[in-house]
Amino acid sequence: ANYFSKFSKAPVICKLVGRKVLDGVGQPTLEVEIYCTVKNYEKRICSIVMASHSQIPENALPETIEADEKERNYSVHSAVEWVNESLRTMLRDLESTDQCQADRILGEYFANKVEEKKEIQRREEEEAAKVTPAPASCPPTPIPKQKKGGKPVKKVLVQENLIPPAEPAEPVLCGSLAIGGTSLAIAKAGATISRVPLYLYIALLKHDQESPKEMTLPLPMVTLLNCEKNLSTKLKLVKEVMLIPPVELSLKQGIERIQDIQKEMTRLLESSGKMPGAQADSKKGKAQSSGKKAPPPPLKRISHLGCLTTGYDNLEQLLLLMQTACKNIDLELGTDMYLAINCAAHELMDYDKGKYEILTGTFKSPDEMVAMYMEMINDFPFIIALIDPLRKEDREQWRSICCALGSKCYLIAEDAATHISKLKTDQNINIATCSGVVLKYINQTKVSDLVELTGILDGQRHITILGSPDGESLDESLAVGLGARFLKLGGLSRGERVAKYNRLLAIEEELAANGTLR
């Protein structure tokens, strides 16, 4: 039976099923299910859940958040329709292992949808122009003449804002989740049909079906602290503090070491009253001194990133506490563990002042930010990566900071980079002088786009970081198969994030057993 099965017709896609589900943070998103005809029988092969990703910053207005939620719901509804109607028909009878053809069909379908959207907008603009009357011409404002002997009229000089304005957000077509979801689902189905793990299937796609002799696991960037910018504390410069284990450790050893640091940091934060709610308890001294029983200690607050949420008044306070935690367990930052800091500079800009607000009430110009980062890396050389230290619009300052610090730490663009589709089209990244780019598998991104783009970045000697979107549903196999240098998944809490770390540990064991782990 096994012998004759080799001569049977290759499995082909017979049905796609799209449905609305919830992702790891409870937001609506898309699930795509693949059914194939295998030896004349319809068989469910696999399913994937796309991650939701929002571009709305933490300090957004309530009405902005509400509008984003409505748009997200509409986008998921459209994506479900695309999968269950058009894409199901277009991809029927396609071999599940023909990823290039599947992605070509998906790309053409999406391009047609974009053109349809543009045509609808053009018609609406034409109709609006017909309805709206032409504005009445206003008479010119008379210039007041200066009276004889009168004081000259003072000219008010308006100070020009010298910073480049924020570039508009990349438009996202409602329903685009269907493209990325279907592409990844077909890749997973192809791996299942081929009886190979997804990470190896992706690696074969990248290396023209040649099995790599060695494979390297990406270094994890594990988020230890999430410093929310809307807390009462002053420090706004830091959004995430991440730990990066040294390369000589195995992934398992690195994760264990990070867990030890996390436990010690939790102990220090609780003892110093920095845990959320602890400061409120310390203010109840009067109640305690009057003989009343103190309330029970608050539960640890874990952010959606799977890490502790806390705040600080300055950067030195945070970094010194990190050093103390490591010393307490006989580790040294810069040797036994390294730090990466996500600055999320685009959330710091005060456009009225034309400066970044790094501490509450403390502002710095883009040039002053470069000088501050230089001083920071010189004082704390164990920081080996800065993510989004500046906005993408500050190109001149990006060049300056890369010239000054490029040999000392990685300068990585996340929100400061353009979208994957544009990166692939332009064949170069928006900020040519950065060390690398965080890539996220969202919206209309296809598997072949990531394969092609990582090849371009490798050729330009830029490092690739696969990042997990807000909704967490990134498949860690992508990072392994694509040969990413780093993997940014969040903290060591929350079920879905921990499941990814566990899968990486299993992949490490598989590669070691096969003798292909480098």
Residues identified as active-site: 443
Classify residue 52 by its DSSP letter: P
First and final CA of the chain: distance in angstroms?
A: 38
Edge-to-edge strand list for the sheet holding 28-38: 12-22, 28-38, 41-49
In whole angstroms, give the CA distance from residue 342 to residue 386. Answer: 6
- With left for phi above 0 and alpha for psi between -120 and 50, is residue 387 left, alpha or beta? beta
Angle at 67 between CA 64 and CA 70, to 5 degrees: 150
In whole angstroms, give the CA distance from residue 127 to residue 123. Answer: 6
Question: 184, 455 in Cβ contact below 8 A?
Answer: no
Q: Give the SS3 label for residue 499.
A: helix
- With left for phi above 0 and alpha for psi between -120 and 50, is residue 388 left, alpha or beta? left
Number of Cβ atoms within 10 Å of the Cβ of 385 = 23
Q: Which has the closest alpha carbon to 242: 376, 139, 387, 103? A: 387
In whole angstroms, give the CA distance from residue 325 to residue 491. Answer: 17
- Spell out the residues 6+ positions from residue 418 whose beta carbon is closer than 8 angstroms to its own: 170, 392, 426, 429, 430
In whole angstroms, give the CA distance from residue 8 to residue 80. Answer: 33
